[in-house]
Amino acid sequence: MLTLADIERMTREDGEGWGYAHVRRVLKLAAAIGADLDYDHEAFDWAVHLHDWGAFPRYRQPGVDHALRSRQIAECDILPQTALSARQAALILDAIEKHDYRDERPVETAEALVLREADFLDFLGVIGMAREFAWGPNNLQTCYERILARRNAVRARFTLPVAQQIAVQRLETMQWALERLLEESFGDL
Ligand SMILES: [Fe+2]
Ligand SMILES: [Fe+2]
């Protein structure tokens, strides 16, 4: 039987430099934005750990959307080896499949909503910018343009009140930081 401790270890081992730290941040953001919601915390923790496995080198497949790939891995390889209930497995798979900001489908569970909005928040603020620069390539202009595109795509997607508050703060910080970036680069990024 696989336990959450096994999944934590596997996320650390297979998640390159970013996977596990991103999970830890999403869990903290989720605790803040979902504090008033009633949801299955055990199922949620599994969903957070597994939600990006489809983007890890060990599992990713060219041409397959990473959220869908993460769902496949959870459904076929991981969840059948756990003691989670069928109801929890269904919650986890749905939350994983719909987490990405490019997925416009509405979500029907609190687990999926909290995962999605916590994940959106990790694209904003200085942390969101740092993630984009770490992603590369070593071309600041390219990273800068991706920062703006990602920010513009997620900024209006928040529905949970605390997520909206955190988003407002992060957007302000980001605006300030982006202005400094342009100023200090004299227009030559
Ligand atoms: Fe993702
Ligand atoms: Fe993510």
What range does the domain containing 172 cover?
Answer: 123-189
* Angstrom distance (rounded) from CA 124 to CA 105: 21
Angle at 114 between CA 109 and CA 120, to 5 degrees: 130
138 and 102 in one domain?
Answer: no
Tell how far the Cα of 177 is from the centroid of ligand 2, in angstroms: 23
Structure tokens at 166: 């955190």
pTM for the whole thing?
A: 0.96
143 and 74 in one domain?
Answer: no
| Model pLDDT, residue 179 | 97
| Model pLDDT, residue 117 | 98
| 104-135 pLDDT tens trace | 999 999 999 999 999 999 999 999 999 999 99
| Model pLDDT, residue 93 | 98
Q: Which residues surround ligand 1, an ion (CB under 5 A)?
A: 52
Tell how far the Cα of 178 is from the centroid of ligand 1, in angstroms: 24
Which of 84, 108, 132 delimits the end of a domain?
108
188 and 130 in one domain?
Answer: yes
72 and 3 in one domain?
Answer: yes
Domain-embedded: residue 179: yes
Domain-embedded: residue 28: yes
What ranges in the chain are assigned the alpha helix state H?
Answer: 4-14, 19-33, 41-50, 66-73, 86-97, 110-121, 125-135, 140-154, 161-184
Ligand that lies nearest to the alpha carbon of residue 70, given by its number in the listed order: 1
Q: What is the CATH number of the domain that holds 41?
A: 1.10.3210.10
Angle at 14 between CA 60 and CA 17, to 5 degrees: 105
| 5-59 pLDDT tens trace | 999 999 999 999 999 999 999 999 999 999 999 999 999 999 999 999 999 999 9
| Model pLDDT, residue 58 | 98
